[in-house]
Amino acid sequence: MRWRAIPSRELSWHRLESALVLRNERTGSTHLLEPPAGEVFRALLQAAAWMTAEDVARASDEALAIVADVLPELVRLGLAEVQSP
């Protein structure tokens, strides 16, 4: 499976200390992503392209097991999209 963040134009985000706060402009919902979820999401945002979980783990410097847990949660929150093979 591959993953990517929703388009950046649909998102307002800001780093507050070690956390990310985000507003999804599509849904109007606001989220707090504390580490490691914030780091995983930042990696997706910066790539702005489809990534495997392994790519995200490398880019975020987080363990693959953590990344694998976080990515579906980001999809559930409407912050990321998933592409199945």
Partner 1 sequence: MNVAELPLAELARRLVGSGLRLRTGAVVTQIRSSIAAVRDGIALLYAEHPVEPDEGFADFRVRIALRGGPRRWIKRQVSFQFEGTAPFHPLPAAQAYPVLEWGLNWCVSANCHQYLILHAAVLERAGRALLLPAPPGSGKSTLAAGLAARGWRLLSDELALIDPGTSSLVSLARPISLKNASIEAVQRFAPGAVMGAVVHDTLKGSVAHMKPPSESTRRAPERALPAWIVLPRYEAQAPRRLERLPKGRAFMHLADNAFNYHLHGRKGFELLVGLVERCACYELSYGELAQAVEQCERLAA
Binding site for partner 1 (CB under 8 A): 12, 14, 16-21, 23, 25, 28, 30, 32, 34
- HEC profile of 59-81: HHCCCHHHHHHHHHHHHHCCCEE
Nearer to partner 1, 24 or 55 (CB): 24
38 SS3 class: helix
Min dist CB 30 to partner 1, Å, is: 5
- Is residue 83 left, alpha or beta, with left meaning phi > 0 and alpha meaning psi from -120 to 50? beta
| CB closer to partner 1, 7 vs 54 | 7
Cβ of residue 34: shortest distance to partner 1, in angstroms?
Answer: 6
